[in-house]
A and B are shown apart, each in its own frame.
Chain A
């Protein structure tokens, strides 16, 4: 039974691209620090502290480049932290790498299967690296092929596998040595809905055997469906932490109406604010207005009336129900998908 803890974790890259960070590093948020052309400093993590309990499914949610993959990289010994500490169970990740590696299973963001081997050989050799005897290896591999619906392809070279099959095999490989902590970096990115559901079911099942799971995602649906708790990360900092329900209820009202006018005016904003159920009105430019409210669609006729009365044209309306996306937007002013 093993948990995960990080204390004030910092990571500054001085050379790009960070291979071990998972490669999913989007447009990097280069900022701050002394910058020279030769070695731009990229602050990937800026004092991240997490405390993930034993047996928890914990999600790191954030846009590309937020620091999710770097966090996973540090916790899995692949990235050296610039500052701070991280522990898997009792073991300091950087100082006791071998002990840590015995406890963890890792699914990287990009498939990293051995193209010179068949699917079965991949699982068997992985098991052998972890010291499983051959009988145990064969038994586990067979069970995993069954569970991940890969039995038909078990003895084929993985070169010809589809993206979804590779992803399933990557996860099966990470589970092969029955790790106490499983890391999944964007596990369902690019999967078809059916495979995604299979994957979620398997992750839940694995968690029920007492295993701790850390996953990163920028998919709110996934975070919602799987995670006991979530940390929302942006620019390498933890900006919100809690259960999906808690986090969602922390957004004023819950509903978000994104409105776009021809051009809005201070009076219009004031009137919007005074509508029943409206909790907060924000604006970022001359035309866009975000309205956080207790209700969604039922506000529309009133908004339309207000706009007409003020002589302002309403160009576009988008209503979203209480969601992590709204939460992210509320905290950062940016969309998760940006």
Chain B
């Protein structure tokens, strides 16, 4: 393994991220923050939502923010670089196994997703206070869940970015990401689906369910949530599945 080449590619991504800092910032945070403001503040203060909804909402927003950022950070450049600018060719020709080019992308995407997730907490707290009740009793589990969620979003970005054509980017958002978010237990706990037994089973194929429930269970455990052990197992499974699928698709794209 050629670490020098790997680190150089990482340095390249950092340089580009720094150059596009404002755009990345807006793209990552504007939507979740508006959501937090409307649902957590407007709806709660006007009495349509109970005060506790603020705390319930937070893990879901964090999961959305991470998944959106991870997928975007990996998938969009890959789609453009493979199909339009072809600039990935230069990295494919670097003296390194080509799979590591994809792993570097996943690594960079994971970091971005982590940042996106962790920044949501203080930002939301600022908007929502008072009344947000964190209960970080198991910091290790929280860290594990957060890392696995970030990794899952970046791996998902790899798999999507290597499977989708440029003209289908819109579809990727409307057909994949949007349903994932709405059926991902982001705005409600999984137990809220008790009265929809079939739906409640079906949504279990959605990895975002485990992301939201895992963050809920480690950040605001006072609400009902899936068992953290189950969450860790499922997230690890999705990470491995999406990474191997993504790498396969990547090799398929990179070599004719």
A115 to B87, CA, bound (A): 8
Stretch at the interface among B7-15, B111-119, B203-211, B215-223: B7-15
Interface string of B84-106 (1 = CB under 8 A from A): 01111111111111100000000
- Which residues of chain B are near A114, meaning CB under 8 Å? 12, 85, 87, 90
**B113 CB, min distance to chain A CBs, angstroms:** 20
- Min CB distance B254 to A, Å, is 7
Say whether B85 contacts A19, CB under 8 Å: no
- Which residues of chain A (73-112) have a CB below 8 Å from chain B? 73, 76-80, 97-99, 101-102, 104, 106, 108, 110-112
A20 at the interface (CB under 8 A from B): yes
State the Cβ distance, B217 to closest chain A Cβ, in Å.
39
B-side interface mostly: helix
State the CA gap A128–B4 with chains docked (Å).
7
Pick the contact of B82: A19, A80, A98 (CB < 8 A).
Answer: A19
CA distance A54 to B160 in the complex (A): 43
A121 within 8 A of B: yes
> Chain B nearest CB: distance from A16 CB in Å?
10
Number of residues of chain A lying within 8 A (CB) of chain B: 37
Residues B49-101 near A (CB distance < 8 A)? 82, 85-98
Contact of B16 among A78, A80, A116 (CB under 8 A): A116
Residues on B with C-beta less than 8 A from A161 are none
Interface size class, chain B = 20 to 34
**A26 within 8 Å of B by Cβ?**
no
Between A and B, 25 residue pairs with Cβ closer than 8 Å are A18-B256, A19-B253, A20-B89, A20-B255, A20-B256, A78-B92, A78-B256, A80-B255, A97-B97, A101-B94, A101-B95, A102-B95, A108-B86, A108-B89, A112-B87, A114-B12, A114-B90, A116-B16, A117-B16, A125-B9, A128-B4, A128-B5, A129-B5, A129-B90, A129-B95
| Pairs of residues from A and B, 6 with the lowest C-beta to C-beta distance, nearest first | A128-B8, A129-B94, A112-B86, A20-B256, A18-B256, A116-B16
A residues near B (Cβ < 8 Å) are 13, 18-21, 23, 73, 76-80, 97-99, 101-102, 104, 106, 108, 110-117, 121-122, 125-126, 128-131, 173
